[in-house]
Structure 1
Amino acid sequence: MYSTTSCLVIILVLSGTAISKSIIKTLPGYTGDLPFNLETGYVSVGELDDVQLFYYFIESEGSPKEDPLMLWLTGGPGCSGFSGLVYEIGPLNFNTLDFDGNFPTFILNPYSWTKVASIIFLDAPVGTGFSYANNTESSSIMDDKISAAQTYQFFRKWLNDHSEFTSNDFYVGGDSYSGIVVPIIVQEIYKGNEVGRTPIIKLQGYILGNPLTSEHDDPNSRVEFAHRVALISDQLFKSAKTNCDGEYVNVDSNNTECVKDIEIITECIAQINRPQILEPTCSLKSPNSTTQIKWDRRFVGENPTDFLLLSSQQNSRLWCREYNYLLSYIWANDETVQEALHVREGTLKEWMRCNWGLAYTQTVLSSVAYHQYLLSNTNYRALIYSGDHDMLVPYVGTHAWIDALNLTISDDWKPWFVDGQVAGYSMAYYYYGYHLTYATVKGGGHTAPEYKPKECLAMLRRWFAYYPF
């Protein structure tokens, strides 16, 4: 399918826009040729075609002609697709155990989702990863709907240029904040197909991991979650539930009893590592505040300068998970790496795993209405999964909005297994032709594949194969 040359750069003009792509055979930090097909490139989108979205495309290591094609968005908004590639579901992981403070190296991930699917890891929206705009206006006006529209535009152009994949089943996937944007993208694709917009995309459904779905409901569910996992007492939970009437985010400052309960709850969970409650906290977290019940995307951010100081203090032994993210900063900001990836020179001052300074406005406070539209109008399949030790987007909140869709239950709550052990619990729902599977991943955090890669690959493989959990 690919040229045998080590690097291929093609400039194509489609509808007055440019697409550039490069075939990558080797990468700094990996010894020898890559054992999978990697392509990187830019696709121009936006009203003026001045937004350049960067992507990593990895062909399925199974059967690219038959296996599904998936577009994957990492959360944030503003987290690079590279983060999803090396820390979650891609074929490379950083070799953290042998990191000596010098240049990072890679090991292969035996549980990569590219074992069963071809995946496009996209740096979206603009300002994420290596994506950039030719003018400041296009990079300073961005919100959920604009981002979704540009992502849809990206994929149409990408598919036009990769026509060999037009017959593959297609899925849109993402995690964390992508729980807001992905359902919008899916609706855009459905409507585009309905009016005959080319190319017709063979969309089969969507996949969401640890998804933020509601700016209010997901953070609000943290109190119930904290009670279920014994972070707050029965008495405190009952008191807060009564005094706050189940409202823990928008607290009435005049309700002194509720305010008092929230202060105690905040104190109880302040030093808990929210992405995975059983793992240690690190000093890289954002400062604690009285608004901790609220969703704050910066809470999972990091300061690479702090990383460098802390890693040297620990003799370069990455004893805390957050320190592992340091390696992506060292690697992606290296000039030889950017040359190898064919990043356009001069388009980026500094690569960040997650750009928390992104100019972005959240305009969709809940994506539930988009799920409701899809279940009422399509025959798509949806896989929603949660790491059950995630307190950023607790499984109890995710399960609650799924139940509120009033779908018919086809398989009630039951365990699913990997290697004879319980890997989590699942439920299956349907509404006419629409089918939704919800699964928890036992011991998983935010997001689940980073913590439980073997189990999550098994989950995806079964779902793609229509195999019951």
Structure 2
Amino acid sequence: MRYNKRSKNPINLKGIMVGNAVTDNHYDNLGTVTYWWSHAMISDRTYHQLVNTCDFSRQTESDECETLYSYAMEKEFGNIDQYNIYAPPCNKSSEVGGGVSGSSGRRSMHLPHLPHSVLRKIAGYDPCTERYAEIYYNRPDVQKALHANVTKIPYKWTACSEILNRNWNDSDSSVLPIYREMIAGGIRVWVFSGDVDSVVPVTATRYSLARLSLSTKVPWYPWYVKKQVGGWTEVYEGLTFVTVRGAGHEVPLFKPRPGCSSVAYGASEEIGPFRISKGGSGLYLNKFAWNSIANLLFLEAPAGVGFSYANRSSDLFNTGDIRTAKDSLQFLIKWLQRFPRYNRREIYITGESYAGHYVPQFAREIMRYNKRSKNPINLKGIMVGNAVTDNHYDNLGTVTYWWSHAMISDRSYHQLVNTCDFTRQTESDECETLYSYAMEKEFGNIDQYNIYAPPCNKSSVGGGFSGSSGRRSMRVPHLPHSVLRKISGYDPCTERYAEIYYNRPDVQKALHANVTKIPYKWTACSEVLNRNWNDSDSSVLPIYREMIAGGIRVWVFSGDVDSVVPVTATRYSLARLSLSTKVPWYPWYVKKQVGGWTEVYEGLTFVTVRGAGHEVPLFKPRAAFELFKYFLTGKPLPKA
């Protein structure tokens, strides 16, 4: 948008769409705690303690708040996948092949506004998919086929770059200002959330979007996919929010934390034309691929993610929200110059989880660019799902979700609410203890990204995957972490298959990937990038307001069984936007079944997806497809 203002050849950006997106630090954190409560993941006591003790807008929490978070996660959460509260994690020992070196810890998961990586398994999909991708893209034959890694990078391909993640230098506390700018600029903005994701929950997104104070055009209602409710949605003036029923944290384009691969998640596990077979042995057609109704462009950002690389290794230690947004704009400008036939095409940006930051920040850069360009990019809207939005509301909504979904006791809930300061990056020891107790003593062995699904059994996955998972990193959704998930109906080891697949030499060759021969193994997420992430907005709500004011379509959706970035966190965040309701809350349908609920505000539409975890397209592909279709048309989700 900024480029278009000064360019004679503006980019025809038409819209953006982000899912389960990190949006505003304050409201993302608050919304997360609320989601935990609303989905019975933590106790009433823990919930109130977190709300009364934590300052969600802060990067670092008080010791008391940290203790509460720890108690809730370790004592009340249990061993679950926060990205889909109904699914268990991927068991790498039984499902994933060897060669995967990803790792995960829960400790960082209670703050939705920081990066993280998750492996998941939900009914209907393989939770070890990410691991399969790492195996696959590290295969010499795959890299050769892809014409990738031609420079022979000195490291293994990974879905996310830990170097970039660790060296991220900046991150907007809120992208709501960008949302307002896009809306004012006429860019279509859609924000969606898988309703079973508790990392960047739907409530956090809603709280963040609420800060935009958008008027409602179409009140909340359920939208349908083949007569089945795909989720819920609400259309606001300039923004549409959508939830995907039964969908988890991961949806399209951008991934849950800084340094994760769009190819590993979006293209290979969720919305791309193909999905990776068990063990990373090959590919199979995705019945609900989004490319059937739109041209898809998966951006591997920042540099260092997947097979992408930087000419200067120091760049991997100096990245963050700001650099990623600017680099993304430059990429799009150059890409459009390379393929001018797309210059006037409508552009929509979508993402999930930490893309709750990426998408609106990227859109804001486009809006600013358009103001100075003679050839503006035709940005029409954005849509984010289970998005990290606001530190405070994301964390608050997460604790709330735990309690409301009976994952933690009343005591743990109240302690977390009364002890933790949700706005802080680092919580107090007391808060951390509370989180630990909730997750380790009360959660049980469940998948936090889908609480109703079991984890991937790593023993069943092909060899070569060395990733591991731990609870400690999972309570702070805005920080990096890796999770394995498995939900009934899908293969929980999907992520693991991806790692196997993309590390195959024949696959890399076929993809013309890794031509530089990076000196490390391909992984879904880069630990280097994750550990070096330098900046992260505490809240993206200001960007939302900017997009809405600019006329950009904004849709926010949440899967209602995700406890990592839960629906409650998103709703708390969006509520801070104080948007007027155009269409009151209502259920939307998919195949005559309620897919979720939705409400349309002035400039923003909020949608929940019933039964969906953290990654909506992965858990509820049909509903996610319908959601995307309606987002593109700008029409409210079906009421029957």
Q: TM-score normalised to the size of structure 1?
A: 0.73
For residue 632 of structure 2, the aligned residue among 448, 451, 464 is 464
Cα separation, 2, equivalents of 1:260 and 1:129: 35
Give secondary structure in 2 for the equivalent of 1:354.
Answer: strand
Q: 1:252 to 1:353 in 2, by over 3 A?
A: closer
In the superposition, relative to structure 1, how do residues 246 and 132 fare at CA in structure 2: closer, same or farther (>3 Å)?
Answer: closer
Specify the alignment match of 1:244 in structure 2: 419
* Contact 1:88–1:453 (CA under 8 A) maintained in structure 2: yes
Residue equivalent to 1:353? 524
Within 5 A, what are the aligned runs for 1:25-424? 72-83=253-264, 84-96=266-278, 101=279, 104-196=281-373, 199-234=375-410, 236-238=412-414, 240-241=416-417, 243-244=418-419, 262=435, 264-266=437-439, 267-269=441-443, 271-281=445-455, 286-289=469-472, 293-295=475-477, 297-301=479-483, 321-349=491-519, 350-358=521-529, 359-376=532-549, 378-424=550-596
Q: 1:268 to 1:182 in 2, by over 3 A?
A: same
- Offset at residue 41 of structure 1 (A): 9.0
Q: CA deviation at 1:112?
A: 1.0
Question: C-alpha displacement at 1:346, in angstroms?
Answer: 3.0
| Matched-pair contact (CA < 8 Å) for 1:170–1:203 | yes
Q: Tell me how far 1:375 sits from its aligned partner.
A: 2.2
d(CA) in 2 for partners of 1:461, 1:396: 25
Q: Is the 8 A contact 1:220 1:294 kept in 2?
A: no
Residue 449 of structure 1, CA deviation: 0.8
Q: What SS does the corresponding residue of 1:130 show, helix, strand or coil?
A: coil
Deviation at 1:440, TM superposition (A): 0.8
Residue identity in the other structure for 1:360: W
Which segment is superposed worse, 225-234 or 114-123?
Answer: 225-234
1:270 and 1:288 in contact (8 A); partners too: no
Q: Which amino acid aligns with 2:499?
A: Y
Alignment match, 1:16 = none
Ranges in structure 1 where 5+ consecutive residues have no aligned partner: 1-28, 30-38, 43-67, 308-317
Asked if structure 1 preserves the Cα contact closer than 8 Å seen for 2:388 and 2:478, the reply is no
> Which deviations, in whole Å up to 9, do the C-alpha atoms of 1:152-189 show, x marking residues without a partner?
10001101111111221111111111111211111110
What's the counterpart of residue 440 of structure 1? Answer: 608
C-alpha distance 380-182 of structure 1, shift in aligned 2 (>3 A)? same
Check conservation: 1:411, 1:429, Cα contact below 8 A: yes
Q: Report how far residue 450 of structure 1 moved.
A: 0.5
Contact 2:584 2:599 in 1 (8 A): yes
Residues 167 and 417 of structure 1: CA distance in aligned 2, closer, same or farther (over 3 Å):
same
- C-alpha spacing 1:235/1:87, structure 2 compared with 1 (3 Å): same
Contact 1:301–1:356 (CA<8 Å) still a contact in 2? Answer: no
8 Å contact from structure 1 (residues 244, 251) kept in 2: no
Give me the whole-angstrom Cα distance separating, in 2, the residues matched to 1:326 and 1:453.
Answer: 19
Q: CA deviation at 1:353?
A: 1.2
Deviation at 1:400, TM superposition (A): 1.1
1:78 alignment partner AA: G
The one-letter code sitting in structure 2 at the alignment partner of 1:324 is T
The answer to whether the 8 Å contact 1:80/1:124 transfers is yes
**Aligned residues of 1:248 and 1:262 also touching (Cα < 8 A):** no
Q: Using the TM superposition, give the Cα deviation of residue 234 of structure 1 relative to its aligned residue in structure 2, in angstroms.
A: 4.3
Deviation at 1:355, TM superposition (A): 1.3
Residue pair 1:216, 1:294 contacting (<8 A) in 2 also: no
AA matched with 2:453: E
Structure 1 146/281 Cα, relative in aligned 2: closer, same or farther at 3 Å? same
Deviation at 1:246, TM superposition (A): 7.9
> How many Å apart are 1:76 and its aligned residue?
2.1
Distance in 2 between the 1:403 and 1:169 partners? 29
Task: Name the CA shift for 1:364/1:236 in 2 (closer, same or farther; >3 Å).
Answer: closer
* Deviation (angstroms), 1:301: 4.4
Post-superposition Cα deviations, 1:283-339, rounded to whole Å, max 9, x if no partner, equal 7653334x753336443346xxxx9xxxxxxxxxx9984422222122211222222
In the aligned structure 2, how far is the partner of 1:415 from the partner of 1:425? Answer: 4
Could you say if the C-alpha distance between residues 296 and 288 of structure 1 is closer, same or farther in structure 2, counting changes exceeding 3 Å?
farther
Tell me: CA distance 1:443–1:138, structure 2 relative to 1, closer, same or farther (3 Å).
same
- Residue correspondences, number: 377
CA drift of 1:437 comes to 1.1
Supply the distance in 1 between the matched residues of 2:450 and 2:498 (Cα, whole angstroms). Answer: 21
Q: 1:429 to 1:133 in 2, by over 3 A?
A: same
Contact 1:215/1:295, CA 8 A, preserved across alignment: no
Q: Does the 8 A contact of 2:567 with 2:608 survive in 1?
A: yes
AA aligned to 2:523 is M
Structure 1 CA distance for aligned equivalents of residues 423 and 538 of structure 2: 17
> 1:455 is paired with a residue of what secondary structure?
helix
Higher relative contact order at CA 8 Å, sep ≥6: structure 1 or structure 2?
2
Q: CA deviation at 1:122?
A: 1.1
The corresponding residue for 1:7 is: none
Q: Give secondary structure in 1 for the equivalent of 2:298.
A: strand
Shift of 1:261: 5.6
Tell me the C-alpha RMSD between the 2 structures.
Answer: 3.1
